[in-house]
Chains A and B, each alone.
Chain A
């Protein structure tokens, strides 16, 4: 194989060594956590809404509705993460030595 494809081997080797798949945390925890906290804060603001707040938002208790919706979205993310946890891939086997590289794509 010519030099033209050298960079592809470099990328493949880096993919083997890459730590992202094994060590990066699950973003669903962040979205879920932040939305639950925001949901609680904004829902409380909805329960304690003043008449002026209600009037400003066209008589919709917008804090209450937004807060509850965010709480639900946050809990759904946490539930999804709990039901379907991300599976860290198994460490790739060391490629056997020798000039003929097998395809180590499956990593």
Chain B
């Protein structure tokens, strides 16, 4: 958790506040206007599976572009330099393409309403319940952490007391999701995506002019931090030291494969956006369309981090009183006049709210369908689950607000919790991928694979790394290694358990395992989907090639 320094107060005026208030009004208006489209629980949780691909695609990228991500990646830029692009090009694009091309036919085609529900049909109740409970708890806590982080930023930038920010933002999120369900969450995410672009592009342009363009920025950084600081792969040979504390192998396997595939393909807050698309082709294109903006986000997030390092060389040190997380607020204060400044503040607050809303809308779906409706109150009429979804949303937000208040006294615990939950996605991905490609994987294997992989990652991180049993230079490096450990242990345990337990009958796996389709699932292609620019394979491979090309200027 970060504490923004004193003296970051922005010189906001009435113009800036007009822009901010206008945005809050629109957000609430979207909730009220979306309300009349909510008739069934499917409308509330998955927008009736009816949204167009460009909307779900932009919501997919925006759900990830929360303020913690923006401030955090700018901070990584200032701390680690151009290495930060790995989180985007090797650490996101391949996983997003894999989700769209390989996994989406199983997710969308099997008509499951959530990621845990897929586990229920593929494996059974034990792994379903385990993943539903962990996901629900994690979403609420992460929503709370988001809210708390926002309160700190708002206090530093605008001078609002922390509790005001927590209550205002929490209640706005509560109102618009309870009213309009996922549709209003998604629409606000699309809106937030464009507002955040309108905030960060001017910031980057003015910042680059200040440091003499990209050439000037590169020269200053190379003279102060050495040539590797502006290269993506320089100094990442095995055994050579670099600020990231990782080598090319742990970057590619740990970040690019285990962590990234775990996050992008099994995190329901992301996958939910694709499941709300109107047909299989649109669902497949959701992460593929998202891949293209995702690729260029480092230009307006990591570059400002680098600029901040040139303008304030002491950033991140005790002496300056400035933390790496202050990079973007710092540039806002120094470079933006009123007007654009209001846009930037609005964009940042919008990103905080969208980050929280993504977690809340995923939480209400999993809790209502996969815990309440599956184990506690089964087989009620649909209206009952729609109402439950609304109540659960309100309870989830209130718990999140409570978490935010508690977090102010236990911020270290929150850090640990986040690390801890990040380890759960990797074995989840391992269980998914083996389950989708290996018919023999059994119900027991799913449960034990999930549990053992998670525990193994935690042992590696909290015991081997934190207690110094093995030497890894940085937290990030240790994260990458722990992810690899989680994946390998989960996979080995699954293989072992499967050999000694009875597999599910093949008939019950139709549509859930590679090479099978659900009975009667062949969907007729929608009109217009045969256009070349809507072909998932072309979009997917295009994104991979473009991401590889992005590396070229930073690798020579």
Binding site for B on A (CB under 8 A): 1-2, 4-5, 7-8, 11-12, 14-15, 17-25, 27, 30-31, 34-35, 37-38, 41-42, 45-46, 49, 52-54, 56-58, 60, 62-63, 65-67, 69-70, 73, 86, 89, 103, 105-106
Contacts and interface: CB of A to CB of B under 8 A. Distances in A.
Contacts of B340: 42, 45, 57, 62-63, 66
Shortest beta-carbon contacts, A-B, top 4: A18-B48, A20-B48, A45-B339, A53-B337
The A interface is mostly helix, strand or loop, or mixed, namely helix
Contacts of B19: 38, 41-42
A62 B50 contact: no
A49 B337 CA distance: 9
Contacts of B519: 1, 5
Given A19-B38, A23-B37, A62-B205, A14 B198 contact: no
Contact of A66 (B110, B343, B508): B343
Given A14-B382, A19-B37, A62 B48 contact: no
Contact of A60 (B41, B191, B206, B507): B206
Given A49-B337, A62-B340, A18 B42 contact: yes
Contacts of A8: 110-111, 518
Interface of B: 15, 18-19, 22-23, 26, 30, 33-34, 36-43, 47-52, 55, 110-113, 117, 121, 183, 187, 190-191, 194-195, 198, 201-202, 205-206, 209-210, 278, 334-340, 343, 382, 507-508, 518-520, 523-524
B385 to A, nearest CB: 10
Contacts of A30: 26, 30, 187, 191
B335 A25 contact: no
Given A22-B37, A54-B337, 17 more contacts: A11-B111, A12-B111, A17-B40, A23-B37, A25-B33, A27-B187, A30-B191, A37-B22, A41-B19, A41-B339, A42-B340, A58-B335, A62-B205, A63-B339, A63-B340, A67-B339, A106-B524
B206 A19 contact: no
Nearest to A86: B52
Nearest to B44: A20
Most buried by A among B19, B50, B121: B50
Nearest to B369: A7
A24 B508 contact: no
A57 to B, nearest CB: 5
Contact of A20 (B47, B190, B194, B520): B47
Nearest to A25: B33
10 contacts: A7-B121, A8-B518, A11-B49, A11-B113, A14-B40, A14-B48, A17-B382, A20-B183, A27-B190, A58-B206
Contacts of B206: 57-58, 60, 62
Contacts of B55: 27
A4 B508 contact: yes
Nearest to B333: A56
Nearest to B211: A58
Contact of B111 (A7, A45, A53, A63): A7
A21 to B, nearest CB: 4
B26 to A, nearest CB: 6
A49 B339 CA distance: 10
Given A20-B47, A45-B15, A34 B22 contact: yes
A106 B18 CA distance: 46
Contact of A23 (B36, B194, B508, B524): B36
Contacts of A23: 36-37, 39
Contact of A41 (B18, B50, B51, B209): B18
A20 B43 contact: yes
Contacts of A19: 36-40, 43, 48
Given A27-B187, A38-B198, A56 B48 contact: no
Nearest to B334: A56
Nearest to B190: A27
Contact of B50 (A18, A52, A58, A70): A18
A2 B47 contact: no
A42 B336 contact: no
Contacts of B112: 7
A89 to B, nearest CB: 8
A31 to B, nearest CB: 6
A90 B52 CA distance: 16
A19 B51 CA distance: 12
A23 to B, nearest CB: 4
Contacts of B36: 19, 23
A103 B520 contact: yes
A13 to B, nearest CB: 9
A4 B123 CA distance: 12
Nearest to B385: A14
A17 B39 contact: yes
B520 to A, nearest CB: 5
A20 B209 CA distance: 46
B191 A31 contact: yes
A60 B55 CA distance: 33
A14 B383 CA distance: 11
A61 to B, nearest CB: 9
Contacts of A27: 55, 187, 190-191
Contact of A56 (B43, B198, B202, B337): B337
Contacts of A57: 206, 335-337, 340
